[in-house]
Amino acid sequence: MDATLLSTLEQAVADGKLLAASLENIKLLTGGTTDPVIPATIAELANAGDFAELNNRFYKTLAFGTGGLRGRTIGTKVTATEQGKGGINGRPEFPCVGTASMNYFNVGRAMRGLITYVRRFVEAEGTGRKPMIVIGHDTRHFSRDFAELCAKIATELGCDCALFDGPCSVPEVSFTIRELRADTGVMLTASHNPSHDNGFKAYFNDGAQLIAPHDKAVIAEVNALSSDTYTPLPAEQQGTLRVLGAEMDEIYIKRLRQVALRPEVFSQASAKVVYTNLHGTGKRCIVPLLKQLGCNVSTVAEQDIQDGRFPTVASPNPENAPALDMAVAQADAENADLVIATDPDCDRMGIAVRNKATGKMELLTGNQTGCLLAWYRCMTVKELGIVNDANIDHAVMVKTFVTSPLQDEIAAKHGIETVNVLTGFKYIAAKLGKYENAIPAELRGNYRDLSEQETRALRLAHSKYFVFGGEESYGYLAQDFVRDKDANVAALCLAEMNAYLATKGMGLLECLNAIYEEYGFYKELGKSLVMEGADGAAKIAALTKTYIENPPTEMDGAKVVAFRDFSAGNLTDAEGDPIPAEKMLFADLEDGRSFAVRPSGTEPKIKYYLFAHGKPGMDLGTAKAQVEGSIASLWAALEADANARMN
């Protein structure tokens, strides 16, 4: 680093303008690269006195959370150096410089660390084969650049690499890892985050995201790397590059079609679906999948365009109503009763359904959609005799603790067990891995080659058949040949349910209300306190610590009758398996309400999950008013308590 620049930064630390940790990370970055963009950008910000921006970029190094690495790839302030000549879709020429940012330095280190870790497993086999890596990416700024960098590093370091020919979905990468018997996989994506973000999701050989001990071990390898330079192996020792295209899509779609429980309903009802991929990857497989099954589906042409700016929406998040506005307008014009939207990497799905009483489209929450799908899948596997009295002990739903307890009630009513796990689909995937491995070895040798019907029979006979599962944040799964949330299969299941209900003269909203009348009205509320940057991270950590050290004994006038501190690491789940330690707290109140608190693993926020419900048989209008009032009151109390804890 230039001596003048170093002096400026050291003075800023002395003046309290720059964090000491930021300076150390600046030294780490500048000392480990020959990229001229990096020191030039740092100097530009320092000379402008913008130490707040430097702190936000350098206060930490990225670490794996529930979704892997994630951070800004375009800074809050783009320097002239980063802007350069500019790039496609209005992006800067170069990604955001910083140890807390998504850029070539961090992506390269993450890839090399992952390769180092995975290589040990392959070398231990003693076969002499090269590690195999699958790489996919979404439509975000720099996603393709990062994917190609990862492929270059992989092949030059002696790994065979399968790179998708263009933007693809998260679940297809998970599926392909399993299909190709790869040793690991990478997806470049930031899910539904704003357009300035990107991320690096790492998978293991089972197609699931890294969990302990793999995740921490990979981070250790990454942190051991202080430079972005490496020496490629001799040409004869390097790996090969395979480009994946339509042939892999066809294999994946064929498997997805087998998940349908009543495929005949598409020809029995004319139920129309409007679909939008919000400028992302979903159209690659969802549209051909639904059309092959006979579903009447149309797309929003303006949002079919793959563009990392997500130009027609303020946010590419299917949880947000405005993101579905164009699709809802098209549904009104085409007289469709269902709108399906998926986020840019097609692992989350949001929907809008027609209210037949008012004629208007209404958005459903992730919990409501999950309850509908849980009811349909549980009801149908029982009605078709797939799950029966002889094997029902081998059927299971898996969901997260912070997902609606109505799903537990629905499963229980059908005699199906529910297992709750921590937030993060990797924990659902871990259960699927457990159930697969419980099948006798002589029967599961070719497990990945078997059809859905064949693996289902094996699981029902020897292990646990996963009927359905998901999380409140719009992520669902109905099969085990993908080990991450899958909006492709969610779209299939919902379109199938919509068509099935149409054959009964019923709509999705009417079905949901019927569920509420049978089980009681359930309401869930998700809230967050957002605290960005270095200061925000410290505030989140401090607030979380107060909940652990001083848990509430009362909230909104109701006593806390049960309190679970997941950070202690001493809890077990419904199957007796240890629950990994996580900074999450769950409180049950004496009046039946409950709430959970946890810091996000991928976003600068602390999350609150609130739950309340009424009694079965109550007038639905009265129950909704009472429950919604009580949950709003609970949030007001929680927010006031949080503010008091921070002051």
**Among candidates 23, 1, 21, which has minimal Cα distance to 10?**
23
CB distance 491 to 340 below 8 Å: yes
Whether the CB-CB separation of 560 and 643 falls below 8 Å is answered with no
600 is catalytic: no
Rounded CA gap, 508 and 351, in Å? 11
d(CA 157, CA 201): 20
Contacts of 158 (CB under 8 A, 6+ apart): 119, 130, 131, 233, 237, 238, 239
How far apart, in whole angstroms, are the C-alpha atoms of residue 544 and residue 415? 37
Q: Which of 191, 195, 463, 473 is catalytic?
A: 191
State the sign of the Cα–Cα–Cα–Cα dihedral 184, 189, 193, 196.
positive
Are the CB atoms for 597 and 606 separated by under 8 Å?
A: yes
3-class SS of residue 15: coil
Single-letter code of the amino acid located at 520: G
Rounded-to-integer distance, Cα 410 and Cα 76, Å: 45
**Residue 335 zone, left/alpha/beta (φ > 0; ψ -120 to 50; rest):** left
H helices of 198-342, in order, are 214-223, 246-257, 265-268, 286-292, 301-304, 325-334
- DSSP labels for 233-253? PPGGGS--EEEE-HHHHHHHH
35-47 b/e (C-beta count within 10 Å ≥ 16 → b)? bebbbebbbbbbe
Rounded to 5°, angle at Cα 188 from 182 and 189: 130
The residues annotated as belonging to the active site are 191
